[in-house]
Amino acid sequence: MTESTSASRAGEPLLVIDDLVVEYPAKGFRKQPFRALKGVSIDIKAGECVGLVGESGSGKTTLGRAVLGLAPVTGGSVRFKGQEIGHLSRKARRALSDEIQVVFQDPYSSLNPSLTIEQTLAEPLRVKKMSAADSSKRVRKLLDQVGLPSDAADRLPREFSGGQRQRIAIARALALSPELIVCDEPVSALDLSTQARVLDLFKDIQEETGVAYLFVSHDLAVVRHLSHRVAVMYHGEIVEYGDGDKVTSDPDHPYTQRLLLAAPVPDPIRQEQRRADRRRLLESQREMELQAGAV
The DSSP-derived string for 247-289 is: HHHS--SHHHHHHHHHSPPSSHHHHHHHHHHHHHHHHHHHHHH
**Type of residue numbered 239:** V
Please state the closest distance from residue 156 (CB atom) to other proteins, in A. Answer: 6
Question: Which residues in the 161-180 window bind other proteins by CB under 8 A?
Answer: 161-164, 169, 172, 175-176
Binding span for other proteins by CB under 8 A among 30-38, 73-81, 118-126, 130-138: 118-126
Closest C-alpha to 52, from 221, 166, 180, 218: 218
Q: Does 92 bind other proteins (CB under 8 A)?
A: no
The residue (of 131 and 271) whose beta carbon lies closer to other proteins is 271
Q: Which of 194, 209, 254, 285 binds other proteins (CB under 8 A)?
A: 194
Distance between CA atoms of 54 and 215, rounded to whole angstroms?
Answer: 11
Pattern 254-273, binding to other proteins, x per CB under 8 A?
A: ----xx-xxxxxxxxxxx--
The residue (of 59 and 69) whose beta carbon lies closer to other proteins is 69
Closest C-alpha to 205, from 224, 184, 181: 181
Q: Which of 21, 130, 199, 281 binds other proteins (CB under 8 A)?
A: 199
The residue (of 199 and 295) whose beta carbon lies closer to other proteins is 199
Residue 124 backbone class (left: φ over 0; alpha: ψ -120 to 50; beta: rest): alpha
Binding span for other proteins by CB under 8 A among 15-23, 26-34, 151-159, 287-295: 151-159
- Locate all alpha helices (DSSP H) within 71-218, ordered by sequence: 90-95, 117-127, 132-145, 162-174, 192-209
